[in-house]
Amino acid sequence: MKDDLRPYWVKKRYLQFRHWYTEYFIRPEFDHLGDHHTFMKPWHTVVSGPNIRLGHSATVVAEPDNHVRIGVWGREPGSGSITIGNAVMISPGVRISASDNITIGDGCMMANGVYITDCDWHGIYDRMNRDPEPRPVMIGDNVWIGDRATVLKGVTIGNNSVVAACSVVTRDVPANVVVAGNPARVVKELDANADFYTRTTFYAHPAALAKHYDDIDRLVLKSNSLLRWLKRLIIRR
């Protein structure tokens, strides 16, 4: 990882612009967006449809070639919903697509390329219409979904469970287990009595945490000069 050569005030202005962009362009697309959010490259996040709620202290990371897409396409105008809890992590390439209802708990982590949907969108024989039976998805608190895993319609995942990379979840997952494979099966049981250190705990005091990170930036970047940073931008070595 290259050193950050930006002067403190340059990084501060960039973060202020990023926050403004999120508030102006992204917030109106949500039915509710909690405070203390961090949208990295928010111009690559696409939110569409009604009844989409995201709790406080969310971290959403998008990339130019890996947009984050959160969308509701209800059966009728204004129907369908996505509700995502507090202190979640949404990585590049995550897609969350709801026909009826998807609920994701607090402190969940969704790795690169995760896909979560509550619908097949087309029937096997009638390929012009959806399955008439709603099959909502319910994901508990502190669930970790690995790279390129898929969570399909009608699935409930219990608290603290882990979905391994590239898994396809087609049936309910109990709490405190690790599942893997296609279709995903339990491969390990977790200690339900262990002390889990979660994103919910980490973001228990988000304002104080934001100040802490700002103090670190001020300390680490204080010796950076504008000239040196501009030279790095021009001379790419």
Catalytic residue positions? 122
Residues 6+ away with beta carbon under 8 Å from 59: 37, 38, 40, 88, 89, 90
CA atoms within 13 A on the CB side of 182: 8
Q: Which residues of 209-235 are buried (b: 16+ CB within 10 A; e: fewer)?
A: eeeeeeeeeeeebeebeeeebeeeeee
Q: Which residues have a Cβ under 8 Å from the Cβ of 82 and sit 6 or more positions away?
A: 49, 51, 52, 53, 70, 71, 72, 96, 98, 101, 102, 103, 104
What 3-state class would DSSP assign to 43?
helix
Residue type, 191: D
DSSP state of 221: S
Q: How many residues does the chain have?
A: 237
The span from the CA of 83 to the CA of 72, in Å, is: 11
168: left (phi over 0), alpha (psi -120 to 50) or beta: beta
